[in-house]
Amino acid sequence: MQVLSLALATFTSLAAGSTPAPADRDLTARLDAWYARAARVAPGAWGIAIATLDGQLIWGIQPGRPMIPASTVKLFTTGFARSVLGGEARKHTRVIGQGQLDQASGRWIGSWALELNGDPTLERSAHGGPTLAELASQLATTGIRKLFGPLNLVSADGRADASYPDVWSPRHRGRTFAPLIGALTINENVLSVAVAPGAAGKPARLVSESPAGAGELVQIRATTVTGRNTRLGFSRAANGGFVISGHINARSRTRWFTSTSYDPRALLEASWARALRQAGIEWVRADVISGPTPGLPVVLAAVRSEPFDSIASEVNRRSSNLGAELLLRWAAGTGDPGAQLTEHVRQITGELTGVRLVDGSGLSRDDRATPLSFISYLTRFPLLPAGRGFFQLLPSNGVGTLRKLAVGLPAPGVVRAKTGTLGDVATLAGYLGHPDGVLVISLMYNGARASRARQEQWKLFRLLGAEGVAIPGDSLGAGSQLGGEDRGQPVPPN
C-alpha cells in the first residue's frame, strides 16, 4: 500500500500542475527546440512527460491529457498478467482421452479430444514453440496407432474457439495483425504458403507451408508458363480455404502468400492430421467415437509453452496483438479483461480518470491513457514484487519495434521501450539510460501526421541518449538507482 500511496501522491502533485523538478537549462532549451520543430512538422495533439526514475516530472507538454495509446497498452498488459500469473507460468496443450488402448492393434477405444488453452506460441515454424508433431509423437510412444472419431476441441476454461474482438475496428478484420482471438490458436491463427514454377504447362508447385498441413486448405490453379510475367492471385474459397490462381513464369522465384485464418478449426485439423501421419498414427475421421468410454479422462500427451516472461518479452518485441490479447485473457480468467486491466493500472498509478482500457493490445481506438499514467506505471510497478526486472520485458534499442534506434545511440540497452502505432497515432514509452540517472519518457501523438511524429520521437530519443549508458540489470528495482560511477553491467539486447 505504501508504493501505491506514493504513486497516488506523485500523480496528484503532477496533475495539479506543480513545478517540475529543475532541469539543466541547456537540456530544457534543447527540449523546447525539439518540441517546437515536432509540433510544426507534425501538427496535432501532443502529450509528453519526461521524468526521473523516482517519478519526478522534469519536462512535459500536457502530460495529463487522455489520448489513444495504441500498442503501448501492451506495456500495461504484460505487467498486469505478470502480477497475476508470475514470470514462470506456462500454457499447456494436451490430448485428453477416456477409454483404453487395445495393445494388440494399437487402437484407442473410446473418446479423445485436443485441449487448447490459447498458447500464442503453438505450432509456429517461424518463431518457435511447442508443436502438434510433439503431441503426436508422444501418442505414438504410448502404443497408439489408430484413432477413431471427429476432432473434438476442449479448453480448461470452457469452449475452445476463436473470434474477432468486438472492440476492434471492423476495417482491420482479415489483416494478419488482427487475427481471430481465443483458446483455439495455432500459428497465431495465420497461415503461409509458398509456390514455385512447375514444368511448362503444369500447375505451380507448393514448396512450403506454415503451419505444417496448411497446404491442404489451398487449391493451386495457377499454371506454369514461358515468355510471360508472373501474375498470381490469392483469394478465399467458398469452403473456407484459399485459391492460388493466375500464372507463374517458369524462371520465377518462389512466391509467398500469407493470410489470417478465417477458420482456425480447419487449419488445426489439417495440421493435426499431418502430425498424426508423420507419427505413424492412422486417423479415421468417423462421425462417432470407437467403442465405450469407461473410466475417467486421462492426459495422453502434453506440450507446454515457454515461460510467461519469454512470451511477454516477445509480445512487446514484435508488438503481437494476438499474444497480448491471449496474455490478458489468461490473467483475467472469466472476468471482464479490459475492466481488470484498467483497475490494475489505476491501482498502480493512482490515476482514476485518465485511464480506460478495453483490450490488451491497444488495437482499439476506445483505449485511453495519459503520458503521466505511463510515467507513474514505469516508475512504480518495478518496485512491486511482480515488477522485478520488468524493464527486461521491453525491447532494447535496435531490436524489434525499436530497430530504427540501432543507430544514433552509443550502445545496445540504452533504451528499453514500447512503441504504439495506428493510422493517426504514434506513441513511445519507456526507459533511457543517462549518466545522471535513468530517464522515464512517455511521448504520445494523435493526429494526421503520425509518420512524421514518429520520426521526431526517434530524434528525441537520440538527442537524450547521445551520451546514454546501458541500463544495468538491477537499476529498476527497489532500492537502487542508476547514476554516478556505479553503472553496473550492460544489459544484452533481447
Indicate the range of 34-43, 294-303, 458-467, 485-494 predicted with least confidence. 485-494
In this chain, the answer to whether the domains covering 2-87+308-464 and 92-185+263-304 adopt an identical fold is: no
Whether residue 491 is predicted with pLDDT greater than 80 in this model: the reply is: no
Whether residue 481 is predicted with pLDDT greater than 80 in this model: the reply is: no
Whether residue 144 is predicted with pLDDT greater than 90 in this model: the reply is: yes
Closest alpha carbon to 317 in 403, 424, 220, 192: 403
Tens of pLDDT along 431-449? 999 888 899 999 999 999 9
List the chain domain ranges: 2-87+308-464, 92-185+263-304, 192-260
Whole-angstrom distance, CA of residue 436 vs CA of residue 61: 22
190 bridge partner residues? 260
Whether residue 488 is predicted with pLDDT greater than 60 in this model: the reply is: no
Residue 492: predicted pLDDT: 29
Residue 16: predicted pLDDT: 36
DSSP string, 66-96: -B--GGGHHHHHHHHHHHHH-TT---EEEEE
- Residues comprising the chain, all counted: 494
Residue 494: predicted pLDDT: 31
What sign has the CA pseudo-torsion 128, 179, 45, 78? negative
Residues 6+ apart with CB under 8 A from 141: none
| Amino acid in position 274 | R
Task: Band the pLDDT of 1: cuts 50, 70, 90.
Answer: very low
Residue 29, burial from CB neighbour count under 10 angstroms (0-12, 13-18, 19+): exposed
- The mean pLDDT value of the chain amounts to 90
Residue 295: predicted pLDDT: 73
Whole-angstrom distance, CA of residue 247 vs CA of residue 195: 11
Whole-angstrom distance, CA of residue 481 vs CA of residue 47: 26
Whether residue 79 is predicted with pLDDT greater than 90 in this model: the reply is: yes
Q: β-strand 92-102 against 298-304: which pairing, if any?
A: antiparallel
Whether residue 13 is predicted with pLDDT greater than 50 in this model: the reply is: no
Whole-angstrom distance, CA of residue 407 vs CA of residue 201: 49
Q: Topology of domain 2-87+308-464, per CATH? A: Beta-lactamase (3.40.710)
Task: Band the pLDDT of 267: cuts 50, 70, 90.
Answer: very high
Q: Topology of domain 92-185+263-304, per CATH? A: D-tyrosyl-trna(Tyr) Deacylase; Chain: A; (3.50.80)
| Amino acid in position 296 | L
Query: What secondary structure letter does DSSP report for 260?
Result: E
Tens of pLDDT along 384-420? 999 999 999 999 999 999 999 999 999 999 999 999 9
Q: What is the mean pLDDT of residues 182-189?
A: 98
By the 8 A CB rule, do 270 and 217 touch? yes
